[in-house]
Amino acid sequence: MSPMTQRSQKRWRWWREALSAIAFAVAPYSTVAGDTVPDPVKLANLVRQDCGSCHGLTLKGGLGKPLTADRMTQWDRSQIVHIILDGVPGTPMPPWRPLLSEADARWIADSLKKGMLQ
Amino acid sequence: MIRAARIVLFVALAMLARPLAASELRGTGNLGIVIERASGSVMIVDAGAHRMLGRVDGLGDLSHASAVYSPDQRYAYVFGRDGGLTKIDLLTAAIVKRVMQAGNAIGGAISDDGALVAVSNYEPGGVRVFESESLVQVADIPAVGANGKASKTVGLVDLPGRRFAYALYDAGEIWIADFSKGKGPAVTRLSGIGKQPYDGNVTPDGRHYLVGLFGEDGVVHVDTWENPLKATRILDGYGRGEEKLPVYKMPHLEGWAAAGGVLLLPAVGRHELIAVDLRDFKERGRIATYGQPVFAVARPDGRFVWVNFAHPLNDTIDVVDTLTMKVVHRLKPGPAVLHMEFTPRGHEVWVSVRDADRVIVYDAATFNKKAEIPAAKPSGMFFTARATRIGQ
């Protein structure tokens, strides 16, 4: 069925595993390289769970400000993207640029403004 | 003979399947709760049997939830993010009482006599205190600092003598509320302690209250045996002026045990722990870790400290030997390790792995996996033995 010999199949499997191991290891940083397409499932989980540890799971705030749609009206999209990527100096809000791409941040800003993640 | 064996087996199975009931005679010393943060539920677990006994729903927003226990270890008081304070009966797996005491809360404590439950609030700030029996409010202590600002409170713990200690995040103060004379507290205010205290805890003997600062490199120490009380800066400038890394999760000060007279504290924005000597509160060294420590939880005997890390390096646990001050073992329990809880005398440790939707139980000596328990986005885990400890 496959044109590959058993040996080359084995080798291919080895490479595939090695590559996926590397991909897994660098996954948290992979978005640094280029503006990849945002992964809505991953980003929604990140916002709810990880942003949620300071902003609350329902985004109603905690140590960080509330991120509910009604609160998001005071900033425009580019301001929110800027806050996400570069943080707010003097506060615990960290710059997410090492972990998120511009496209990711735009997706998060839009979703917050629409109240999609509450 | 075979029939008799069948009946015995049937009865045994029926007993296993029977739901938890108060009429069933049992102790609670081996029980605990696991917070399921996304579904607003709490699992009641048997730490000895590695299994869930029941689930209690309807606890609201449990992101950043924690719990304390009544002295008899039957009731858990769960502090939710949304200001909900819920009293749970472990034996019936039911809510006894629930109040929405504020808009946004961060944690709580129970007084040494078990009579008062205090909750630390972000919105409207301050601390509110309740009768543990009825959850009727007995005191409201707004936290307005010397700068006139209403403040979020953090690091709330009980101290011996019906006292509570906590820090004011926005005002940079430490307050100690003394309820020994009744329901109206005498509050001691220590101001100007430093920028943005983020958490606090007390040593297991109840004597030394330490508060970590986020806004500057340093820790604040209050020796609660001194009179008058005063706040002293320790580990000042531990970052040596280096730019700190972005902090994607606040460290927590919890799970302290006197580990050979040394306490291991997370360094904010750094991949290291700082060892503090409990005799003079001076630095005794650093331990390089896999990521930025969130919890550094000592095995109850103090020999090893298990450490988890901030996002995105939160799939790993380092185990530090406090004798050699080195990482001796590294585990990869899975995505988003949020919390670790030792059994009372430390033979096992429970690890919550949020994004794998499971709790893993490890042998604390061999690091072998002993059990896996399914749980929905588990976070904090609290065993009833906490009822016997100061500062929980």
Task: Determine the distance in angstroms separating the CA of A116 from the nearest CA of chain B, rounded to an integer.
Answer: 16
Please determine, for residue B305, whether its predicted confidence score (pLDDT) is greater than 50. yes
Cβ neighbours of B215 in A, within 8 Å: 90
Indicate whether A21 and A45 sit together in one domain: no
Cβ neighbours of A45 in B, within 8 Å: 355
- How confident is the model at residue B255, as a pLDDT? 84
- How confident is the model at residue B357, as a pLDDT? 98
Residue of A nearest to B169 (CA): A63
CATH number of the structural domain spanning residue A68 = 1.10.760.10
Task: Determine the distance in angstroms separating the CA of B129 from the nearest CA of chain A, rounded to an integer.
Answer: 20
Mutate to test the interface with A, among B59, B63, B216 (most CBs of A within 10 A): B63
Q: Shortest CA distance to B280 belongs to which of B380, B208, B230?
A: B208
B271-285 pLDDT, tens digit per residue, is 999 999 999 999 999
Indicate whether A95 and A50 sit together in one domain: yes
Please determine, for residue B146, whether its predicted confidence score (pLDDT) is greater than 50. yes
Indicate whether A5 and A38 sit together in one domain: no
Cβ neighbours of A62 in B, within 8 Å: 63-64, 81, 104, 106, 122
For the record, the structure tokens of B15 come out as: 């007993």
Indicate whether A23 and A39 sit together in one domain: no
- How confident is the model at residue B122, as a pLDDT? 94
Indicate whether A42 and A71 sit together in one domain: yes
Indicate whether A16 and A45 sit together in one domain: no
How buried is residue A7: exposed, middle or buried, by Cβ count under 10 Å (0-12/13-18/19+)? exposed
| Interchain contact, A49 vs B38, CB within 8 Å | yes
How far is CA A31 from each of CA A38, A88, A103, rounded to the nearest angstrom? 9, 21, 9
Indicate whether A28 and A78 sit together in one domain: no
How far is CA A78 from each of CA A51, A53, A106, B128, B191, rounded to the nearest angstrom? 19, 24, 8, 40, 39
Longest dimension (CA), chain A: 62
The H-or-E segment that residue B285 falls in is strand B283-288
The count of structural domains within chain A is 2
B21-68 pLDDT, tens digit per residue, is 556 789 999 999 999 998 999 999 999 999 999 999 999 999 889 999
Indicate whether A17 and A59 sit together in one domain: no
Q: How far apart are CA B132 and CA B117, in angstroms?
A: 5
- How confident is the model at residue B227, as a pLDDT? 95
| Interchain contact, B152 vs A63, CB within 8 Å | yes
Q: Shortest CA distance to B217 belongs to which of B247, B189, B177?
A: B247
Q: Which range marks the domain in which residue A6 is found?
A: 1-33
| Interchain contact, B122 vs A61, CB within 8 Å | yes
| Interchain contact, A56 vs B196, CB within 8 Å | no
Residue of B nearest to A95 (CA): B246
- The tens place of each residue's pLDDT in chain A, 118 residues long, gives 444 445 555 555 555 555 444 444 444 444 444 457 999 999 999 999 999 989 998 899 999 999 999 999 999 999 999 999 999 999 999 999 999 999 999 999 999 999 999 8
pLDDT band at B14 (very low <50, low <70, confident <90, very high): very low
Please determine, for residue B242, whether its predicted confidence score (pLDDT) is greater than 80. yes
Question: How many residues can be counted in chain B?
Answer: 392
Query: Span B206-234, mean pLDDT?
Result: 97
Residue of A nearest to B123 (CA): A62
Task: Determine the distance in angstroms separating the CA of B158 from the nearest CA of chain A, rounded to an integer.
Answer: 22
Indicate whether A95 and A110 sit together in one domain: yes
How is A62-75 classified by DSSP, letter by letter?
SSSPP--HHHHTTS
DSSP state of A51: I
The strand pair at B262-266 and B272-277 is best described as: antiparallel
Indicate whether A5 and A41 sit together in one domain: no
| Interchain contact, B250 vs A56, CB within 8 Å | no
Cβ atoms within 10 A of the Cβ of A19, count? 10
Indicate whether A27 and A73 sit together in one domain: no
Indicate whether A51 and A104 sit together in one domain: yes
Query: Span B74-92, mean pLDDT?
Result: 97
How is B121-190 classified by DSSP, letter by letter?
EEES-SEEEEETTT--EEEEE--B-TTS-B--EEEEEEETTTEEEEEETTTTEEEEEE-TTSSSPEEEEE
Percent of chain B with pLDDT over 90: 88
Bridge partners (DSSP) of residue B308 are: B317
- Residue pairs spanning A and B at CB distance below 8 A: 68
Residue type, A3: P
Sheet containing strand B262-266, edge to edge, reads B262-266, B272-277, B283-288
Residue of A nearest to B65 (CA): A53
For the record, the structure tokens of B12 come out as: 């045994």
- How confident is the model at residue A17, as a pLDDT? 52
